[in-house]
Amino acid sequence: MKKLLDVHGLPTPLWQLFTTGTEPIRDHLRFPVIVKLAWEHCSVGLTQDAIVQKKDDLAAAVKERIATFHQPVYVEEFIDGREFQVTILDGSKGLRVLPPAEIVFDTKGTGAFLTYESRWNEEHPEYETSHVVRAKLSPVRMQQLYRLAHKTFRMFGFRDYCRLDIRLSDDTFYILEANANPGLGDSDDYGMTVSYKAAGMTFADFCWEIVESCLRRKRV
Residue 220 confidence class, pLDDT cut points 50, 70, 90:
low
Q: What is the mean pLDDT of residues 78-94?
A: 95
Q: Model confidence at 177, in pLDDT bands (50, 70, 90)?
A: very high
Q: What is the pLDDT of residues 107-139, one digit of tens each?
A: 889 988 888 787 877 888 877 888 999 999 999
Report how far residue 62's alpha carbon sits from residue 67's, in angstroms, rounded to the nearest whole number: 9
161 shares a domain with 58 = no
Please indicate, yes or no, whether residues 92 and 148 belong to a single structural domain of this protein: yes
Direct distance between the N- and C-terminal alpha carbons of the chain, in angstroms, rounded to an integer: 28
Q: Between residues 149 and 45, which one has the greater pLDDT?
A: 149
Q: How many helices (H) and strands (E) does the chain have?
A: 6, 10
Same domain, 35 and 95: no
Residues 118 and 175 in one domain: yes
- The answer on pLDDT for 157 being more than 90 is yes
Domain of 187?
Answer: 82-219
Backbone φ and ψ of 39, nearest 5°: -115, 10
Residue finishing a domain among 56, 77, 98 = 77
At residue 25 the predicted structure's pLDDT band, cuts being 50, 70 and 90, is very high
Do 61 and 156 fall within a single domain? no
pLDDT recorded at residue 146: 97
**Distant-in-sequence, close-in-space partners of 142: CB < 8 Å, separation ≥ 6:** 100
Kindly state the average pLDDT of the residues 183-198: 93
* 89, 193: one domain: yes
Task: For residues 61 and 105, state if they share a domain.
Answer: no
Are the beta carbons of 203 and 196 closer than 8 angstroms?
A: yes
Find the CATH number of the domain harbouring 40.
3.30.1490.20
Rounded Cα–Cα distance for residues 25 and 29 (Å): 8
Report the chain's mean pLDDT, rounded to a whole number. 93
Answer for the pair 16, 26: CB distance below 8 angstroms, yes or no. yes
Q: Are 90 and 98 in contact (CB under 8 A)?
A: no
More confident residue, 121 or 200: 200
Report the alpha-carbon distance of residue 196 to residue 66 in Å, rounded.
Answer: 37
Q: Is residue 135 located within the same domain as residue 213?
A: yes
Distance from C-alpha of 95 to C-alpha of 208, rounded to nearest angstrom: 15
Q: Say if residues 178 and 1 touch (Cβ distance below 8 Å).
A: yes
pLDDT value of position 22: 94
- Which pLDDT score is estimated for 90? 95
State the total domains in the chain: 2
Contact between 62 and 138 (Cβ < 8 Å): no
Q: Which residues pair with 165 in a beta bridge?
A: 85, 177
Of 24-38, 39-53, 111-125, the one with minimum mean pLDDT is 111-125
